[in-house]
Amino acid sequence: MKNEFQVIADLIEKDKKVLDVGCADGTLMKFLKDNKNINIRGLEISKEKVQECIAKGLTVIEGNAEKDLKQFPDKSFDYVVLSQTLQAFLNPELVLDELLRVGKKAIVTIPNFGYWKVRFHLLFKGTMPITKKLPDQWYNTPNLHMCTIKDFFHFVKSRDIKIFKSLALNNLNTSIINERNLGVKNLFADLGIFLIEK
């Protein structure tokens, strides 16, 4: 399991109720179910991935986060997880509002467009950055709204969203992001993980 999922799992206490939005093949769900006795649900848009989740014995709803989160009542999950997908929605603002309505807390991870490799790529090659976290070409990327750790940090602050924890990931290194080190983390982390609440 990738390091990101380990960090997410460490943020969640045992026996909680969790919704994994865009749960893909259910790797994180399975881990949370087996190791933390989490009552876990998934929402996934891809039919193939839904089938993979069912084969793992996971409860998954085929659906689209932009349309289908509204069926869940307010604060019906302890945590709602959104891993590296916020930038792919037509309306990330609306999705974030929905995550915070449905979940008591939300865990959102974002691929960082401020990562030094991304910046170097654009600066020196003059073409759209391609990195491990951003593997697609400009014409076929699902990412519509790329942002940096700094962007997201400012965005949640401006929306009165409470940040419980913000973590920077660089390969296997995890460190805490705060107002003072924001500039540095924004340069050296390829992924930001935010535990937030509204």
Partner 1 sequence: MKTEKNIKTLIVKKPLKLDCGKTIKEFPIAYETYGSLNSKKDNAILVFHALTGDQFVTGTNPITNKDGWWSYAVGPDKAIDTNKYFVICSNVIGGCMGSYGPSHKDPNQKIFGTNFPVITINDMVNAQYNLLEHFGIDKLFSITGGSMGGMQVLQFISNFPNKSKTVIPIATTSSHSAQNIAFNELGRQAITADSNWKDGDYTSNETNPGKGLAVARMAAHITYLSKKGLQEKFGRKLQEREDLKFGFDADFQIESYLRYQGSVFVDRFDANSYLYITRAMDYFDLAKQFGGNLSNAFINTRAKFFIISFTSDWLYPTQENKDIVIALNSIGADVGFVEIESDKGHDSFLLDVPDFLSALKNFLDKSYEED
Of 23-31, 53-61, 90-98, 104-112: span binding partner 1 (CB under 8 A): 53-61
Q: Does 71 bind partner 1 (CB under 8 A)?
A: yes
Q: Does 76 bind partner 1 (CB under 8 A)?
A: yes
Q: Does 46 bind partner 1 (CB under 8 A)?
A: no
Q: Does 74 bind partner 1 (CB under 8 A)?
A: no
How many angstroms separate the Cα of 173 from the Cα of each of 3, 4, 114, 116, 129?
9, 10, 17, 16, 22
Q: Of 72 and 89, which CB lies nearer to partner 1 in the complex structure?
A: 72
The rounded distance, in Å, linking the Cα atoms of 9 and 27 is: 11
Residues with Cβ within 8 Å of residue 6, at least 6 apart in sequence: none
Joined together, the tokens standing for residue 119 give 């910046």
Cβ of residue 67: shortest distance to partner 1, in angstroms? 10
Q: Does 54 bind partner 1 (CB under 8 A)?
A: yes
Are 77 and 17 in contact, with CB atoms under 8 Å apart? yes
Q: Does 59 bind partner 1 (CB under 8 A)?
A: yes
What is the DSSP secondary structure assignment for residue 71, as one 8-state letter? G
Within 10 A of 55 (CB to CB), how many other CB atoms are there?
10
- Figure out which of the listed residues 72, 89, 152, 153 binds partner 1, where binding follows CB under 8 A: 72
Cβ of residue 58: shortest distance to partner 1, in angstroms? 8
Binding residues for partner 1, rule CB under 8 A, total: 18
Local structure of 162: helix, strand or coil:
strand
Are 91 and 66 in contact, with CB atoms under 8 Å apart? yes
**Chain residues 112-141 in contact with partner 1, contact rule CB under 8 A:** none
Q: Of 102 and 147, which CB lies nearer to partner 1 in the complex structure?
A: 102
Q: Of 80 and 146, which CB lies nearer to partner 1 in the complex structure?
A: 80
Cβ of residue 97: shortest distance to partner 1, in angstroms? 18
What is the DSSP secondary structure assignment for residue 131, as one 8-state letter? -
Residues with Cβ within 8 Å of residue 47, at least 6 apart in sequence: 62
**Which residues of the chain form contacts with partner 1 (CB under 8 A)?**
41, 47, 50-51, 54-63, 71-73, 76
